[in-house]
Amino acid sequence: MSAHTPDDPITAEIRGLQRPMAGRRLLSWVLFLVGIVGFLVAPVLASLHGGDEAAVARLPVIGPMLADAVAESHARLEARRPDPQTTPDYAKGDAAGFYQLADLAGYKAAAPTLMALDRWWNPGPVAVAHQPWANDCRVCHSGAFAQVKDSDCLSCHKAISDHVDRKTVHDARLDVRCATCHLDHQGGFALAEQNKHAVGRDCADCHGDIKKSYAKTETGNVRDFADEHPNFRVQLNDSAPATQAMRVALKRVRLPEGKAQLSEPTNLKFPHDVHLDTKGIGSPDGKVVMKCANCHEPDPDGINFKSVTMKDHCQSCHALKLEPRLSNREVPHGSVSDALDTIAEFYSYVGSTGNVPRGPEPLTKTVVIKRPGEPEQAPRSFVSTPGNNLSRATWSATEMFEKTSCVICHEVKRLAGPGKEGSPGRNLPQWSVAPIAADHAWMPKSSFSHASHASAKCESCHDANKSSKASDVLMPGIDGCRDCHAGSKPVADKIVSECSLCHGFHLPTAKPVPAPVKPLQRLATGPVRQ
b/e string for 427-445 if b means 16 or more Cβ within 10 A?
ebbbbebbbbbeeeebebb
E strands in 291-441: 412-415, 430-433
Instruction: Point out which residues pair with 234 in neighbouring strands.
Output: 253
Please tell me the pTM assigned to this model.
Answer: 0.69
Q: What is the pLDDT along the chain (530 residues), one digit of tens a residue?
A: 456 666 777 777 777 777 766 667 788 888 888 888 777 777 776 666 555 666 666 766 666 766 666 666 656 555 544 444 444 443 334 443 333 344 444 445 455 555 556 666 667 788 888 887 777 777 888 877 788 998 888 888 877 778 887 777 777 777 778 888 888 888 888 887 777 666 666 788 888 888 887 888 888 899 999 989 999 999 999 999 988 888 889 999 999 987 788 999 999 999 999 999 999 998 888 899 999 999 999 988 888 899 999 999 999 999 999 888 889 999 999 899 999 999 999 999 999 888 888 877 888 888 877 766 667 777 788 898 888 999 999 999 999 999 989 999 999 999 998 888 889 999 999 999 999 999 999 998 888 889 889 899 999 999 999 999 999 999 999 999 999 999 988 999 999 988 888 888 887 654 444 444 333 333 333 333 33
One DSSP character per residue, 292-335 reads GGGT-PBPTTSSSBPPP-IIIIITTTS--BSSTTT---BPPSS-
Phi, psi of 268 (to 5 degrees): -115, 140
Radius of gyration of the chain (CA): 36
Q: Which phi and psi angles does 408 have, rounded to 5°?
A: -65, -35
Q: Could you tell me which residues come within 8 angstroms of residue 106 by beta carbon, excluding any fewer than 6 positions away?
A: 524, 525, 526, 527, 528, 529
* 3-state SS, residue 251: strand
431 φ, ψ to 5°? -135, 160
> How far is 211 from 224, CA to CA, in rounded Å?
17
Phi, psi of 20 (to 5 degrees): -55, 135
Domain ranges of the chain: 26-199+514-522, 336-433
